[in-house]
């Protein structure tokens, strides 16, 4: 089953377009955080989303794929896994 996660950073933003895109991509369950900054460490709906996934430590080891619709990343394809892997190893702009 495909599940989705939506986050909008302010209460003024409307998540409907993101939700519609996820439904169109086949998501049957969608978790939504509204008014959550990207810098916050705890996002209640993201935590629920991750908890709903298969038991295990790492997403890939759980057999969980990842898709980012805006960036066209899909870890269920070889190219998507490569891009995702490279992004994870890319140094941050602050050098950390």
**Which residue numbers are catalytic?**
9
Residue 34, beta-bridge partner list: 8
State the Cα torsion 70-75-76-79 to the nearest 10°. Answer: 90
- Cβ-based neighbour number of residue 15 at 10 Å: 15
């Amino acid at each position: 089953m495909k599940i989705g996660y939506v986050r909008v950073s302010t209460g003024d933003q409307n998540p409907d377009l993101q939700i519609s895109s996820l439904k169109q991509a086949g998501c049957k369950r969608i978790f939504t955080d509204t008014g959550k900054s990207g810098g916050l460490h705890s996002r209640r709906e993201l935590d629920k989303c991750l908890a709903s996934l298969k038991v295990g430590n790492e997403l890939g080891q759980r057999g969980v794929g990842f898709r980012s619709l805006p960036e066209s990343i899909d870890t269920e394809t070889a190219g998507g896994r490569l891009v995702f892997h490279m992004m994870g190893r890319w140094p941050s702009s602050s050098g950390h």
